[in-house]
Amino acid sequence: MTYRVCKSFHVESGHMLSKHPGLCRFPHGHSRRIDVVLASPLLDQNEMVCDFKTLKLAVSAFIGRFDHAMAVNSNDPLLPQLKSVDERVVVFESADPTTELLAKYIFDHLSAELAAGKTYTDDRGDGYRFPPGVKLERVRVTETSTSWAEYGL
C-alpha cells in the first residue's frame, strides 16, 4: 500500500501558443491550480509522507515565476516585444508553453529537488527535508474549470 499527499498552489498566468491554429495563439490567461502529489510506502517519524511545509519551500519560488507572467515559445516572433514591455516573461525553449509542458516543467524541477536531498529553511530558521523514500508521483495543472493536464509516473 502507498500513502499519498497533495499540495495545491494557485497562479494567475498567461501564455501564447504560437503553433495553435485558433484563438489560443493570441495572449490569454488562466487561473491555474497546480496539484503536486508525493507518495511513500512508509510514514516518517512524524507519521507523515512529508511535511507540507517541505514541499512548499521546495517548489513555491519556482511556481511563483509563473504568477502574473506570460509564458511564450522562444521562437515566437512577438517575444522581443513582450520582453521589452514586461519583465514577467517565461520562455519555453523551442516549445509552446502548453499546460502539459508546464506540468512537466514543474515535475522535472521538483524531481531534481528531491534528488538533491536539500534542507530548506523557513523564515523562522527551522530546517525541513524530504524523508527517504518519498517519490514525486505527478503534477497536475488545471487550466480551466473543465480542463487539466498531468505529468508523472
Termini Cα distance of the chain: 16
Is the four-CA dihedral 137, 138, 139, 143 of positive or negative sign?
negative
Rounded average pLDDT over 24-39: 96
Does pLDDT of 140 surpass 90?
yes
Are 97 and 75 a contacting pair, CB within 8 Å? no
Are 106 and 61 a contacting pair, CB within 8 Å? no
Instruction: Look up the CATH superfamily of 3-152.
Output: 6-pyruvoyl tetrahydropterin synthase/QueD (3.30.479.10)
Rounded average pLDDT over 77-95: 91
Rounded average pLDDT over 135-146: 97
Confidence of residue 153 (pLDDT cuts 50, 70, 90): confident
Distance of CA 137 to the CA centre of its chain: 13
Q: Which residue has the cell 512577438?
A: 78
pTM of the full predicted structure?
Answer: 0.94
Domain boundary assignment for the chain: 3-152
